[in-house]
Chains A and B, each alone.
Chain A
């Protein structure tokens, strides 16, 4: 049970589906934003007490606010980038944050994601009258749109457009590098005992496609399938990438070593099992570009 539980914590830095239809009406006094859940928010023209419910949105808000980080008054646990956010009051884990803590921070804007945060908690905050902006970051396009949506809510639309095009250009660069590459078969592993890999519905599947690689579980129609070891051996990936989360890297090194039990697999024979620091890939903000390059290097450099 414990293993299963920690796997959830690892996985659920990744979020579910949903397209973005956002509109904004700004006046001098207030901003009206419609988020991805269709919720109408009336936000003060320049929200000054912002609480982020998930590390990725803390990063994103900081990226948009630049030097003006005093406006962020609360973040979720494990928000560590930029480092100054580590000292902000914590509202607990994104999966089950403390509603009491959020309310007591008296926020004028709360940032959450559609499937990273639990839906009943988001609704609970809204019932209590808090303006909660929910974004979706399941696909690269949604990540790009979430940047603009958050920037609009912060009253910094121009800055949002700039950051968004920075991300767009970066991704376009990576895609152009990927052209003509051999479709290396990759197993992207995010947990073992039980073994958890990346399926078609995950945002990481798209990340693999972007760098030109082929996901061996790309045909499985859920986000994070838990296949049997036999099945992995049969699919025989060229490269195995273990995504490590901040903290105990030894754990992930052991996960990578465990594959040596199967010397006939191509990834083992060619010594192509890599551990990649996952924070940048798993947190869809501008640092995603860094993450995609790390992934690219792990799969394609010798």
Chain B
């Protein structure tokens, strides 16, 4: 892969991101431009969308390498279910008054599930597939507990949870979304510093060992980092699907699988994709808002299939 192609991917990515940010500030529920609306409502949303898109895409890219499985995405590991469980608990306890209330409990739920997964990884460290299955089981456990809560709870409370579960960026505040952005950017950078190990994992566990890399240690580190990343993203914006699966594949298609360039490019394109999706979410059914998770899947899935048909293969 020559450096011109990579440079072009960077430039195009940064330009699209800038363009998507511009669109996110320009368009919304109303046509007239109001300074207060732009700075208090649209800007925090654009920042939050960028942060979550970035985090999900980076986590997806890292997990796909870790498990050497193209179907892995941030939600495969079950951490998002822990987050959802935390969120419904927060709603039950009446903590959804504030941005921090719901996000805080959701993040605690994610941390809780992430630590279970981490301790599982300590004892079943030898095999990737086992750990993957453990993550999937954890996910089922979490989502069935959420479903149980939904069946038992009073219908009034479920409503708030429904919006959150489908992906909702409308809660963004200036301070909260800036914190989320910094948090996600730092964690993404930390994932990026692992690029050598991630590359080595692509050669399989034995190949990595031959290169002198301890697969066990790398795996724990990546699980820890991606758990925090996914936990932060899901708690801030709900369950937004698709970005974490498709953006890494798309970037790999552009610049190949080496993580030194894959991770930063996935971050840029992930931020772009979710910011654009959120513009559409606000525009499509004014004055209603379509949940942004619906938009990402509604546009992402056919696009992915089309590219796949055109190129015969993508992964």
Q: A residues touching B (Cβ–Cβ < 8 Å)?
A: 4-5, 7-8, 11-12, 14, 16, 77, 90-93, 95-101, 103-104, 115, 118-121, 123-124, 127-128, 196, 201, 222-224, 226
Contacts and interface: CB of A to CB of B under 8 A. Distances in A.
Contacts of A14: 156
A128 B170 CA distance: 14
A224 B287 contact: no
Interface string B127-152: 00000000000000000000000110
A95 B159 contact: yes
A98 B289 contact: yes
Given A103-B36, A103-B37, A104-B37, A98 B159 contact: no
Contact of B156 (A91, A96, A224): A224
Contacts of A118: 96, 159-160, 163
B36 A8 contact: no
Nearest to B288: A92
A103 B98 CA distance: 19
Contact of A96 (B37, B40, B286, B289): B289
B34 A92 contact: no
Contacts, number: 95
Given A16-B156, A119-B160, A201-B154, 20 more contacts: A4-B158, A7-B155, A8-B158, A8-B159, A8-B162, A92-B287, A96-B163, A100-B28, A100-B30, A101-B29, A101-B30, A101-B286, A104-B30, A104-B34, A118-B163, A119-B96, A120-B97, A124-B173, A128-B41, A224-B154
B36 A115 contact: no
B195 interface: no
Nearest to B171: A120
Given A95-B159, A118-B159, A223-B156, A100 B41 contact: yes
A120 B29 contact: no
A223 B173 contact: no
B287 A97 contact: yes
Nearest to B30: A104
Interface string B143-185: 0000000110011101110110000001101000000000000
A223 B154 contact: yes
B226 to A, nearest CB: 28
Contacts of B40: 103, 128
Contacts of B98: 120, 123
A91 to B, nearest CB: 6
B42 interface: yes
Most buried by B among A96, A128, A196, A223: A96
Given A11-B155, A92-B289, A120 B99 contact: yes
Interface of B: 28-30, 32, 34, 36-37, 40-42, 96-99, 101-102, 150-151, 154-156, 158-160, 162-163, 170-171, 173, 282, 286-289
B37 A223 contact: no
18 contacts: A4-B150, A8-B158, A11-B155, A98-B29, A100-B41, A101-B29, A104-B29, A118-B159, A118-B160, A119-B160, A120-B101, A120-B102, A123-B97, A124-B173, A128-B40, A223-B154, A224-B155, A224-B156
Contact of B155 (A8, A101, A119): A8
A90 B287 contact: yes
Contacts of A201: 154
A98 B288 contact: yes
A273 B192 CA distance: 66
Contact of A93 (B150, B151, B288): B288
B89 to A, nearest CB: 16
B136 to A, nearest CB: 21
A119 B97 contact: yes
Sorted nearest first, the 3 A-B pairs with minimum C-beta distance are A100-B29, A92-B287, A104-B30
A12 B173 CA distance: 26
Nearest to A106: B34
Contacts of B34: 103-104
A244 to B, nearest CB: 18
A5 B155 CA distance: 10
Given A103-B41, A128-B36, A98 B286 contact: yes
Given A8-B162, A224-B154, A91 B173 contact: no
Nearest to B151: A226
Nearest to B172: A124
Most buried by A among B101, B102, B282, B289: B289
Nearest to B99: A120
A7 B150 CA distance: 13
A7 B171 CA distance: 24
A12 B96 contact: no
B206 to A, nearest CB: 44
